[in-house]
Amino acid sequence: MFAFSIRAMLNEFKQHAPEISKNLGLSFDEMLLGFEQMPDISIDYAIMEKSDKVVMLPLDLYWNDIGSWDSLYNVLDKDEMENIKKGDVIVIDTKGSLIIGNKRVVTTIGLEDCIVVETDDAILVSKKGETQKVRDVVDKLKKANRKEADEHVTTYRPWGSYTVLEEGLRYKIKRIVVNPQEKLSLQMHYHRSEHWVVVKGTASVRQAHDKVTIGDKEIFIHENESAYVPKSTLHRLENPGKVPLEIIEVQNGEYVGEDDIERFDGKYGR
């Protein structure tokens, strides 16, 4: 654990990591925009291993970084069979295992000392003690150009998030959440059309409308109403209200990849 004054740390960044230091005076939004261009290095390597202003003090306590599924198993409470079960999990003749379910029923039979993790886009089954090799799986996915290596089912953006609900040949279905007072970029797609349906908010009945720009026309659509965006048509989605806005988007076309987008204007500089 590191303890330092802000002034001391800023001076150390200036001396040992000037390429990072030059960004520390930016606003949060400005730094967020340029975060992907920041050096890929930890504070340990960038500063602590180079500084001559470091003092180490011993601390007698238990420490676990919880950097793997195995370490997570070590810290969580276990049942009488030494199992850890999270989600909709049914176990038979299973012991010493970590089983995590997400949206489906996960059932294990006759397992011992195993890790089973079900997520929206992948399922991990591993012997305990081997989960650090997940990085090897990621390497294989990248070499095979698999989208699972870089794309998540839910993707977060400065304006909100989107979740891919279903995808197939010539179509994709998303749930899009736009934060209050936020808007997407003015954009166009050449290979797909989009159909938007506004649904009720997750926390309360939505009071705001959905402000939509399609071509040179600006309209408002409410809950249970929809809008259609043809191919090659300029459009923008905006939430002028005070509560999160949720829509279901259905894409249709010969190509529904995320890179079929041309942006013409946007507040986030993408």
Measured in residues, the chain has a length of: 270
Q: Are 109 and 117 in contact (CB under 8 A)?
A: no
CA distance 35 to 190: 29
At 141 the pLDDT is 93
Two structure tokens written together for 149: 């290596």
Q: What is the pLDDT of residues 87-101, one digit of tens each?
A: 999 999 999 999 999
If you average pLDDT over every residue of the chain, what do you get?
A: 88
Q: How confident is the model at residue 73 (pLDDT cuts 50, 70, 90)?
A: very high
Q: Are 202 and 253 in contact (CB under 8 A)?
A: no
Spell out the domain ranges in the chain. Answer: 6-48, 69-133, 154-265
CA distance 211 to 213: 7
Residues forming a β-bridge with 118: 123
The DSSP call for residue 257 is -
Q: What is the pLDDT of residues 187-231, one digit of tens each?
A: 999 999 999 999 864 322 233 344 566 666 778 888 888 889 999
At 151 the pLDDT is 81
Which residue type is seen at 263? Answer: R
Average pLDDT over residues 112-121: 94
pTM: 0.64
At 208 the pLDDT is 33
Q: How confident is the model at residue 144 (pLDDT cuts 50, 70, 90)?
A: very high
Whether the per-residue pLDDT at 106 is higher than 60: the answer is yes
Q: How confident is the model at residue 172 (pLDDT cuts 50, 70, 90)?
A: very high
Measured at the CA of 64, the angle between CA 62 and CA 67, to 5 degrees, comes to: 180
At 207 the pLDDT is 31
CATH code linked to domain 154-265: 2.60.120.10
